[in-house]
Amino acid sequence: MRHFFLLSLLFLAISTTSYAQPCTPQGDEVTYGTGNIWRGYVYNNSNLGNYRGYVTEGSASSPNFDENFGGDDVTYATNGCGTQTETFSVRYKLRKNFAAGTYTFTIGGDDGYRFSVTGGSSWLIDNWVDQGYTTSTATVTLSGNTDLVLEYYERNGANRISFNVTTACTNGTENTGIYGTNNVWRGYLYDGTNFNTYYGMVTEGSASSPNFDESFTGNYANYATSGCPIYTETFSARYRLTKNFPTGTYRFTVGGDDGYRLSVSGVSGWLIDGWVDQAYTTRTATVNLSGNVDIVLEFYENAGGNRLSFDLTTISVLPIDLLHFNGQQINNQVRLNWSVTPESTPKVFGVERSAENGNFQQIGEVNPTFASKTTYQYVDPTPVTGRSSYRLKMTDENGRITYSNNISFNTANNSSSWRIFPTLVTNGTVQLQAGNSVSSGVLQVSDISGRLLIRRVLTGVQAGSQFKVDLSAISHTPGIYTVQVIQDNDMFTSRIVVP
């Protein structure tokens, strides 16, 4: 009996010693996990106090996880000391490298949870309350190494914490220096109020007008771009447009909530500058412009309401100023030539013709191909027989119509009956046979580039007569030359070759 009692005491002593054997928590509570593997620091109360040891979550392929800690009111093992799953807390840490883009985080928990992408200095998701299992979602743009902190506590009952991250979208890759054309703006949108991170592109305006009024789908909303959507609380935008202005005076009106500013090439500084936090206001500026102009409109939103508007009004445009209008009859065709001043603003030229004592009718149309063009030409391939007249119906950018002077031709003259021979010049002269009588005219010879080399006045030439033309000035310079006989509104043209 005595031996049994002593053995019982010894067993009790050994058992008590084994149960009370202390454990040592592993981990420093500071180090971040890497390679998608979280470090989770476990505490045996709900206030992240009394550290017990660390655990890991996630895998090399993904940081996502869903943990129920083995169930209710059980011992949850750590690298160190275990903890009962009734009242405990965990702080998970992960340093992850994010490709530039927008990411959606979904956190779920029973009870409280909160999530940070700034190492715990601020909370992107904060749901730190007793609750059944719920989830919260947030979307944010990230780039490069990011310190993630996920905190969780359990206070009695069921327990669970889950983490999931997905790529929400890919930021736009457009060249943000390209300007829109044809009245359609290219707008480049950025996260942050100072063009911080580029998200994507939008367009504003239409082929008929560059004017627009944009509310960005409202407050606290996602505004779609070519890449990632912008959250409409703190963002900025830069719009670009190259527009051709007929010479004139124009009024710009820009409105915004919050800041906005407008510049136009050729005008120093910001033409309109309202770069401050403000409710919706408008500002106006008037300026003289001509030709292609690069326009930049910038905007930022700093919380609250948001809106940006642009309005362009034409105050006045200069009319068409015709410098000359003349023509030539060449080989039974009529070639019309005219020019306008660089400041003119033609929209279209209508070419009109009338037979002798008849009414003018439009036979063709010439459209300016670019704003700086000042010289134009039109060929009437089938002029009427006898005397006819031509004029221009000129329509400017404002729709105003003016007419040119009239010029007349007599197509009874048959310049095509003129002959030149030989066309291969070997002895320094050629013969011309007159197709009609010339009381006063000019014979001229030019090289292939149009440079005038020989000029001779013709008088008293009878129809059908022949006369010699001295070409000794060019007979030693091989090439192709143009011979022209010009008389009144008629012209004969031919080419010769000096071998």
Domain boundaries of the chain, sorted by first residue? 22-169, 185-317, 322-410, 415-498
Task: Give the pairing type, strands 260-264 and 234-257.
Answer: unpaired
CATH code of 415-498, in short, is 2.60.40.3080
Which pLDDT band, with edges at 50, 70 and 90, does 228 fall under? confident
- Through-space distance between the first and last CA atoms of the chain, rounded to whole angstroms: 145
- Rounded-to-integer distance, Cα 288 and Cα 267, Å: 10
CATH code of 185-317, in short, is 2.60.120.1560
User: What's the rounded mean pLDDT across residues 436-465?
Assistant: 84
Which pLDDT band, with edges at 50, 70 and 90, does 3 fall under? very low
- Rounded-to-integer distance, Cα 272 and Cα 255, Å: 10
Q: What tens digit of pLDDT does each residue of 26-51 get?
A: 999 999 999 999 999 999 999 999 99
Contact 226, 202 (CB under 8 A): yes
| pLDDT reading at 140 higher than 60 | yes
Q: What tens digit of pLDDT does each residue of 309-367 get?
A: 999 998 877 778 888 898 888 767 888 999 988 878 788 999 999 887 678 899 999 98
Q: Is 221 helix (H, G, I), strand (E, B) or coil?
A: coil
Which CATH code of 2.60.40.10, 1.10.10.10, 1.10.760.10, 1.10.3720.10 fits the domain covering 322-410?
A: 2.60.40.10
Place of tokens 């031509």: 390
Has domain 22-169 been given CATH number 2.60.120.1560?
yes
pLDDT for 231: 80
The partner residues of 152 in beta bridges, in order of sequence, read 90, 113
| pLDDT reading at 14 higher than 60 | no
For 90-104, 169-183, 412-426, 483-497, which range has the lowest pLDDT when averaged over its residues? 412-426
pLDDT for 39: 98
Tell me if 185-317 shares its fold with 415-498: no
Q: Is 241 helix (H, G, I), strand (E, B) or coil?
A: strand
- Rounded-to-integer distance, Cα 148 and Cα 120, Å: 8
Which pLDDT band, with edges at 50, 70 and 90, does 9 fall under? very low
Q: What tens digit of pLDDT does each residue of 373-397 get?
A: 789 999 988 888 777 889 999 988 8
Place of tokens 């439009």: 362
| pLDDT reading at 15 higher than 90 | no
User: What's the rounded mean pLDDT across residues 42-69?
Assistant: 95
- Rounded-to-integer distance, Cα 318 and Cα 211, Å: 22
Name every residue whose Cβ is closer than 8 Å to that of residue 369 and which is 6 or more positions away in sequence. none
Element (H, E) at 7: helix 2-19
Token representation of residue 234: 């703190």
pLDDT for 357: 67
The partner residues of 234 in beta bridges, in order of sequence, read 302
For 46-55, 87-96, 285-294, which range has the lowest pLDDT when averaged over its residues? 285-294
Q: Return the closest-CA partner of residue 483 out of 425, 426, 427, 438.
A: 425
Written as one letter, the residue type at 338 is: W
Q: Give phi and psi for 488, each to the nearest 5.
A: 50, -120
- Rounded-to-integer distance, Cα 107 and Cα 96, Å: 17
Token representation of residue 306: 């948001």
- Rounded-to-integer distance, Cα 74 and Cα 82, Å: 10
For 86-90, 116-120, 159-163, 344-348, which range has the lowest pLDDT when averaged over its residues? 344-348
Dihedral, CA of residue 339, residue 341, residue 345 and residue 347, to nearest 10: 0
- Give the length of the chain: 499
Contact 185, 191 (CB under 8 A): no
Higher per-residue confidence, 319 vs 211: 211
- Rounded-to-integer distance, Cα 39 and Cα 396, Å: 74
Q: Return the closest-CA partner of residue 92 out of 69, 113, 71.
A: 113
Name every residue whose Cβ is closer than 8 Å to that of residue 450 and which is 6 or more positions away in sequence. none
Contact 193, 236 (CB under 8 A): yes
Which pLDDT band, with edges at 50, 70 and 90, does 255 fall under? very high
